[in-house]
Every structure is written in structure tokens, then in C-alpha cells.
């Protein structure tokens, strides 16, 4: 929880064109900070600068450079920063992370109770499946709810999630929703399916409870037969 007193100011600098798992690096970092309960963060865009390659980049170029610096800044306590620093280093890639001591005179807001640091682990044998049923038109923080849930799961290191769109069905209001070629329904059912350890899914449930105002969330036992992934290729310039 961010309170008055000693704290750390963290600044992360990446290039505008840098990516993390196919998405913009700075946007991914901002989402990660948001869903990990950081008190607040600001993104600043540079208009000129150079980095480790010592190439000068400027927005005055005929073609706007995607190498311009993007800076993400936030202030938090030492304990909270220690929880997320390793993940931030991974997401920043070749970017720069700096920290400096600061003093909070007045905290902008109170943070939610911090959650235990997710640990990467090999998943095998007994596990839990979480299914979340929401409406396609449901929203949270001005974005589609199912997209926000995916981002929240990614930020909390849930092993993986798949989103399914229903083509026929009804819910608590007993209205039948059906996909029609010429009349696409925006009230269709959306199901998110995620599998992970019971500990991680239960730790994530309080956030689901806050985000899903109307819907269905169920947990069931599963047994993982195989869980594997291929590491992404690292491109060098």
C-alpha cells in the first residue's frame, strides 16, 4: 500500500516500436502495472532522443520514427516493487529501468491489498479449470469485459486463457441469443476458459469478483496430460 513517507520512483524507457509477445511493450507494461495493483502510472512520449545504439531519432523526420523513447513512470513502496521488478525487466527487453528514492508527501489513493507474487512453475497432474461466462456487450473500464479479463489474467501470470463466442444460448434473463449472418447479435455469450493451479486461480478470484458484475464463474477439477510451449524466436537487428 502506498502511503506517505519513503518510496521509490521507477522510470522505464523503451522505444515506441518495441513489442512484448506481439503487443506494444509500453502498453503491455502499463496493463501489467494496472492489473498488479500499482497505485498509478504515467506514460510520456519523447519527441527526440537516442539510445544505446547512439542513433538520433526525431519526430521531425519525414517518416515518424518508431524508435522514439516512451517513458513509463510510477511511484510505489519497496516491497511492491520487489514483487514485480523481475517481470518488468523481462517486459522492458533492451530498454532502461531506473529507480530513485523519493518521499510521498500525500498519497493520491489507497491501493488494494497486494497479492502474493505469482511464481512460474511447471504444471502437471491435478489442476483447476476456471470458466467465466459474460455477455459480449459487457464492459469494464471502457473496454470489452472479456478483453479486460484476458489482460488481467496475463498480468497475474495465469498460465493461459481462451475466449469462446457462443452461437446459441440463453442466460439468467432467459432471452435466447443466436448468431444470424445478417443480424449479428451483440448479446451473445462469451466464455473464458483458463487452467492453472488452484492456488493461483483462487488468488485471482477477488479481481474477477470486482470485474464481473453479472455473469457466471465456475471452477472444476481437471488433470493435465500435457502442457508444453515453444519459446519465441529472438530477433536481432
Average pLDDT over residues 26-41: 91
Burial class (CB in 10 A: 0-12, 13-18, 19+), 60: exposed
Highest mean pLDDT pick, 27-36, 38-47, 57-66: 27-36
47 — pLDDT class (breaks 50, 70, 90): confident
**Using 50, 70 and 90 to split pLDDT, how confident is the model at 131?**
very high
- The ranges of the chain annotated as CATH 3.30.70.120 are 5-104, 125-224
Cell digits for 124? 502437471
Q: Cα–Cα distance between 173 and 86 in angstroms, integer?
A: 45
CA 22, CA 25: separation in Å to the nearest integer? 9
Return d(Cα 88, Cα 97) in angstroms, integer: 8
**Looking at the domain 125-224, which fold is it?**
Alpha-Beta Plaits (3.30.70)
pLDDT of 149-198, one tens digit each? 999 999 898 988 999 988 776 655 656 555 555 444 556 789 999 999 99
Whether residue 11 contacts residue 4, with contact meaning beta carbons closer than 8 Å, is answered with no
Q: Is residue 63's pLDDT more than 50?
A: no
Instruction: Report pLDDT for 182.
Output: 43
| Listed range (19-23, 124-128, 149-153, 211-215) with the worst mean pLDDT | 124-128
| CA pair distance 53, 144, nearest whole angstrom | 39
Q: Class of 5-104 per CATH?
A: alpha beta
DSSP string, the chain: ---SEEEEEEEEEEETT-EETTEEHHHHHHHHHHHTT-S-EEEEE-SEEE-TT--EEETTSSS--TTSEEEEEEEE-HHHHHHHHHHHHHHHTTSEEEEEEEEESS-SSPPPPPPPPP------EEEEEEEEEEETT-EETTEEHHHHHHHHHHHTT-S-EEEEE-SEEE-TT--EEE-BTTB--SS-EEEEEEEE-HHHHHHHHHHHHHH-SSSEEEEEEEEES-----PPPPP--
pLDDT greater than 80 at residue 69: yes
Report the pLDDT averaged over residues 125-151.
91
Amino acid at each position: 500500500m502506498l502511503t506517505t513517507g519513503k518510496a521509490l520512483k521507477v522510470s522505464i524507457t523503451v522505444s515506441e516500436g518495441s513489442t512484448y509477445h506481439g503487443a506494444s511493450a509500453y502498453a503491455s507494461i502499463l496493463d501489467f502495472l494496472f492489473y498488479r495493483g500499482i497505485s498509478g502510472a504515467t506514460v510520456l512520449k519523447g519527441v527526440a532522443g537516442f539510445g544505446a545504439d547512439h542513433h538520433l531519432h526525431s519526430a521531425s523526420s519525414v517518416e515518424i520514427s518508431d524508435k522514439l523513447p516512451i517513458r513509463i513512470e510510477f511511484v510505489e513502496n519497496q516491497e511492491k516493487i520487489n514483487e514485480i521488478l523481475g517481470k518488468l525487466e523481462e517486459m522492458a527487453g533492451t530498454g532502461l529501468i531506473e529507480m530513485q528514492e523519493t518521499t510521498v508527501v500525500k498519497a493520491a489513493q489507497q491501493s488494494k491489498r497486494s497479492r502474493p507474487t505469482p511464481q512460474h512453475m511447471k504444471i502437471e497432474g491435478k489442476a483447476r479449470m476456471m470458466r467465466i461466462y459474460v455477455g459480449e456487450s459487457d464492459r469494464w473500464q471502457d473496454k470489452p469485459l472479456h478483453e479486460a479479463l484476458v489482460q488481467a489474467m496475463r498480468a497475474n501470470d495465469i498460465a493461459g486463457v481462451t475466449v469462446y463466442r457462443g452461437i446459441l444460448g440463453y442466460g439468467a434473463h432467459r432471452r435466447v441469443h443466436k448468431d444470424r449472418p445478417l443480424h449479428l447479435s451483440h448479446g451473445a455469450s462469451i466464455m473464458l476458459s483458463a487452467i492453472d493451479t488452484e492456488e493461483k486461480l483462487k488468488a485471482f478470484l477477488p479481481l474477477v469478483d470486482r470485474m464481473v458484475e453479472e455473469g457466471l464463474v465456475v471452477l472444476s477439477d481437471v488433470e493435465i496430460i500435457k502442457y508444453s510451449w515453444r519459446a519465441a524466436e529472438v530477433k536481432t537487428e
